[in-house]
Every structure is written in C-alpha cells, then in structure tokens.
Structure 1
Amino acid sequence: MTSIKEQGPEAPTAYFTGTVHVNLAVTPEDKLNVGLGKVTFDAKARTNWHTHPYGQILIVTDGIGYYQGKGKSVQIIKKDDVVKIPKNVEHWHGASHQNSMTHIAIVPSDTNATVWMQAVSDEAYDKALTDEKSAVTISEKAHQNHNQLWPEYQSNFAQTDPELIQVFDNFAFDEIVGHDNLDVKTRTLMILASTIASQSVTEYKMFANAALNVGATPVEVKEILYQSVPYVGISKVIDFVKATNDIFRERDINLPVEPQSTTNPQTRHEKGLAKQKEIFGDRIDDMYKNAPDDLLHFQHYLSANCFGDYVTRNGLDVQIRELATLSFLIALGGTENQIKGHIQGNANVGNGRQKLIDLMTQLLPYVGYPRTLNAVNCLNEILPPKK
C-alpha cells in the first residue's frame, strides 16, 4: 500500500522553480494506465511551462495557487478547485506569492508523459500578483452553501467582476443563509418564485437547476411556475416555461410531468371558493357581498381561476403555495394591499411571523431593500411583534 500523506522528495530544479515536493502514489510501473501524485509547492514555487499528450487533472487540496494556460489570463486556484487541462495545452501551475499550495495531479497515461518547456519567468509570474490581489475571497461557509446549490460551478463573473461576487456571495450565501433555519429546498424554491416576478430568466435558470440539485422534484418546480401565472401574468411567465422545459430536457426529465389538477370545468368554482375560505376565512363572503354588480365577475374569476385552476392543484402543500404567492408579490413591487392579504393568509395556514421574516430575509439579496422593507412594514401591520 502506498501512502500519499508524506510530501515526498524534492522535484528536479530543471522542471520547477522554487521548492516543490512530489509524492508519486501511482507510477508507470504500476501499469494502471494513470499517473497520480501529490505535489506541494512552497510560496512562489511553480512548474515550468509544459504539456501533457493525454491531458491532466489537478485537484487542489490545500492553499492558494495559480494556473495559466498559454495565451490565457492567470486563474487563482484554491482548496477543492478542480482544474481540467486538455491534452497538448501549454500551461504552468504553482503556489501563490503568499501561500503554499498542494494539489493532486492525475495524468491518464501509463507513460506519465510530460513535455517540459522553458521556466516561467519572474516577470510573468509576478504579473499574477495583480490578479491575486483582486481575486474573489469567498468565506468557507459561503462556498459550501453555494456548492450545495451548484456543485463544481465556476462563475465567469468571478474573473470579470470579482469585487461584486465577493460582496454578494459572502452576503447572500453566508450572512443571509446563516440568519435562520429555513430549509434549503424551501429557501431555493422561494427564491426561484421571486425570479419569475422579477423577470430574471438568467437567475431563474440558475435556481431551477439549484432546486433540482437540492431535492425538489420536477413537479414542484413546475407547480411554482404554474402558480405564478395568475399573479404575474402569462405574458411574463411564458419565457420561464420554455426555460424550464429546456432545463428538463438537458437533465433527461420526461415532459410533460405528471398532471396535478384536481378540478374540472364543473367543479373549479366550487373547489376554488372552498380553497379561498380555507386560506382566508369568512372575509371571502364579505368580498362577494360588497362587490358592485359590474365588478362581481372578478370575484368569480378569483375563485374559479386563481384558486380553482391553480391553488387547488396537487404537487405543493398549501403552506408552500402561500409562501410562493407572497414571494411573487414581494418581488413584483407595488402590491402592498395583496401582500397584507397574503401575510394573513400565510398566518391562517400556519406560516407565522418568524417564518415570514425568514422568507423576507432570504429574498432580500434578490429583490432588493425597497421591496423587502415594504413587505416588512406590511408584516408589522398585519402580524405585529409581541411586546
């Protein structure tokens, strides 16, 4: 048995600059059609430029380092990063200026072939220091929470807009996520709901994939989407339907998903009205009673269409549906009257003040302060804090 715990002997200076230790755990003599070793670089140490005829994979296990492909900018690499290097690509890698770096190197070849070239000059290496100073510094907690939603995802914005990503990720995925105990699936589905009302197809795609990654079913994703129609409008939702279908096809999820309707044209009004009363109580009778004759049809539409066609569906329980509806309304903005009604509706189905505070907290990075604080004001009016 071979141990990879030790550093191993120093690497030859002909191929490396600075102090580098190489521990080859798998060699050509093992005849396993792969080379594998642990390479530890002291600060400022690095390889020469080189290529691998069969490509290479680097798995960073400790520290901070650099990787650069020929003609490309330097990438900052750190613990848990995976670098996939295509065959015959000229490149170098090593530790950063201030930190050591250790990686596992995997070469898919019995010969462990490496074509070595010239050393990386101090001038070329020092150019990476500018990139390192502007590199994204993400907290370990933020990294873990982000990776839970999107395993191994590498954002291009980390290279083009590092300061923004650093501030946002540390806030949204560490400080905000750490505020409360809202479970990850519910939190992800509610953010997903807000992206529909915010008309952000790009962010919706991210969170649709995230929801599936953390255990939401295709039906649950579709039901969030369908429920948005009576609140956001089909003109705004139809692009999200297409985006969802594209994602499902990419993930080999069969379309259409299982049907969830519980009503038909004959029962939709009756069942919808019953669902309204389940959530909002006797005030629904007052809404019918107080509606002018020329506006009464809107009450019928609310019962039969909004509730009968959508809210009565299976796939999501009533608590999640009410949270999703509130997420739509908060993200839309200018819906304070409806927000107040659905804050009370949430309370009626068991989503108390603390859960609604948790929801509003999690939506904050995605909908902004004005909409969130307007919703908080509505919450304090309908469900004031206990003194």
Structure 2
Amino acid sequence: MSSTSTAESRYERGLALLAQIGDTAVIDGLDDIAPDLGRLTVEFGYGDIYNRPGLTLRQRQLANVAALSALGTAAPQLRFHIGGALKAGVTRREIVETIMHISVYAGIPAALNGLTVARQAFAADPEAGDGAGEDDTGEGQPNETSRDRYARGLEALRHIDGHAGEQVVASLQDIAPDLGRYIIEFSFGDIYSRTGLDLKTRELATVAACTALGTVAPQLRVHIHGMLNTGGTRQEVIETITQMAVYAGFPAALNGVTAAREVFTERDTTG
C-alpha cells in the first residue's frame, strides 16, 4: 500500500469517527491558516487514537470531558466533547457528575467553569441526554455529622484506592492531619459516594485528569491502583493515558505511562 493511500485511509477512518460525535465542519475553521493541522487532527486524533480498541466511545468522551475540565484552558474543545459525549450516549447526569468529580483534582473553580460550558452545550442540544439535575444526590443527608461523612469516606477510600490511598492520608498525620481528614470527608465521603457514575468510571476520569494535569504523578499512581481495584483493566488504563497525548501532549502521556509501569510492577511484585 502506498503512503498516499495509507494517509487517505487514516483520514477517511478518522473523519467517519469524528462524524459520530460532532460536526466535521469543525476542522474547516483551520483552512485559512493551518489546513494541515486540521488534516493531522483527523488522521492522528480520530483515525489513529479513537479507532484503537480498549475503550468504548463513551469512555473516551468522558475521559476527554474530565481532562479538558481539569486543564481549564480549552472551553471550546470542552464544549465540543460534551456534545460528542451526548451523541455517544452519555447522559447529562453523567457529564455533570464527571465535571463535579474534577473539583477534587483541579479545584472547584475548574468544576464551576466546566459546568458553565456544560450548560451551554445542553442548551444547544436540548433533546440530547436526560435531565441534568434529576436525582442529583449523594449518599449524605442534610444535618449529618462530620463523623458520618468521615466514616463513609474512609470506607470508600479503602475500597477504591486501598493501601495506596491510606498511605497518602497517613503521610499527612505529622504535618497536616486536617488535610487528610478533608480528603476523606469531601473527596470520598461527599464526591465519590455520589450516585450518577460508577466507581470505575470515576477512576477513569481521575486517571485522565491527573495525566492531563501532568503535575501529580504520585496521585496518578494512587488512582491507577484505584481504577484497577474497581474493575478497570491494564489495557483501559493505558488507553486512557494514551488518549491524553491528543489533549495534553506526548510528554504528559509519556509520564502517565511511566506511572502506570510503576503501578503494574508493584502489583506484580506484591501479588
């Protein structure tokens, strides 16, 4: 097969997949300044990466929503991929929960900005997905005590991240014990205990976000453990990280793979 026909195949394959999640005219906006970037985006992003096995289209779109919300620097692309998630069968509730989840890793302002973009995307396609706020509750109750939240959070932490998560909290006891308590109460007692996303999807979103941020390797390792602990496979971990090459760059993906290798080796060694 000639290099020309190979390139055409990648482009056509990518364009067909792009059409499943959005308007292919999105790449036309580059025609007057960088048409090759439009072509390369279709060939690499969609022809190569999106066509890989290992993740469903729904999973890929939720990973994008998580990563772009965490980065906080690409609102137009976040809106595009929220629309793409809806077209891939993701519900509004799942999108909202994914963005709320990111408040733990990128901060509440990032989540607030992400929800603003989500509101715009929902308004532009009112028939897609389901209601954004229906059954919008977690496990908590109005007037519950901090002890209740802590107990629920500690149970979730142990189930999701296991020993790796407990080590993080234990490491704070001599310098910032309240921070450890907040991690348990808010991150796991409030956010992780909410309905709307299963635990494996929450960990997939976390791996995507932490990879894209590129500054939290220790936390990425913890949540790779967590993704595996909640039913994710090693292939799904690697595919999530590989996809981030498109949205956060190759260095972020390479660092993510290094973290994954360390986690896999640790699990193989300790059994």
Structure 2 equivalent of residue 382 of structure 1: 263
1:193 paired to 2:66: yes
Partner of 2:96: 222
Per the alignment, residue 17 of structure 2 pairs with 145
Question: Which SS does the other structure have where 1:215 is aligned?
Answer: coil
State the partner residue of 1:169: 42
Aligned equivalents of 1:166, 1:207: Cα separation in 2: 18
User: 1:138–1:166: 8 Å Cα contact kept in structure 2?
Assistant: no
Is 1:340 matched up with 2:214? no
Structure 1 vs Structure 2 CA RMSD: 2.3
Residue aligning to 1:271: 152
Q: Specify every segment of 5 or more residues in structure 1 that has no aligned partner in the other structure, as ranges.
A: 1-135
Alignment coverage as a number of residue pairs = 251
> What runs of 5+ residues in structure 2 fail to find an aligned partner?
1-7
Q: Are residues 305 and 150 of structure 1, via their aligned partners in 2, closer, same or farther at CA, if it must alter by over 3 Å?
A: same
Larger relative contact order (CA 8 Å, sep ≥ 6): 2
Decide whether aligned partners of structure 1 residues 290 and 147 sit closer, same or farther in structure 2, where only a CA change above 3 A counts.
closer
C-alpha displacement at 1:256, in angstroms? 3.5
Tell me whether 295-304 or 279-288 shows the greater mean CA deviation. 279-288
CA–CA separation in structure 1 for the residues paired with 2:30 and 2:188: 43
Question: Contact 1:218–1:257 at 8 Å: present in 2 too?
Answer: no
Larger CA Rg, structure 1 vs 2: 1
Instruction: Specify the code of the residue in structure 2 equivalent to 1:363.
Output: M
SS, match of residue 104 in structure 2: helix
Q: What are the equivalent positions in structure 2 for 1:84-163 lying under 5 Å apart?
A: 139-151=11-23, 153-160=25-32, 161-163=34-36
C-alpha separation between the residues in 2 aligned to 1:333 and 1:372?
8
Q: TM-score, normalised by structure 1?
A: 0.60
Q: Deviations over 1:313-349 (max 9, x none)?
A: 1111111100101111111111111111111111222
Whole-angstrom distance in 1 between the partners of 2:204 and 2:109: 23
When the two structures are superposed, what TM-score results if normalisation uses the length of structure 2?
A: 0.85
Question: Are the counterparts in 2 of residues 137 and 166 from structure 1 also a CA contact under 8 Å?
Answer: no
- From 135, 142, 148, give the equivalent of 1:258: 135
- Aligned counterparts of 2:133 and 2:194: Cα–Cα separation in 1: 16
Is structure 2 residue 192 aligned with structure 1 residue 311?
yes
Contact kept, 8 Å, 1:326 with 1:339, in 2: the verdict is yes
Greater strand fraction, Structure 1 or Structure 2: 1
Show CA shifts across 1:181-235 (max 9, x none). 3110101110111111222111100000000011000000001100000110112
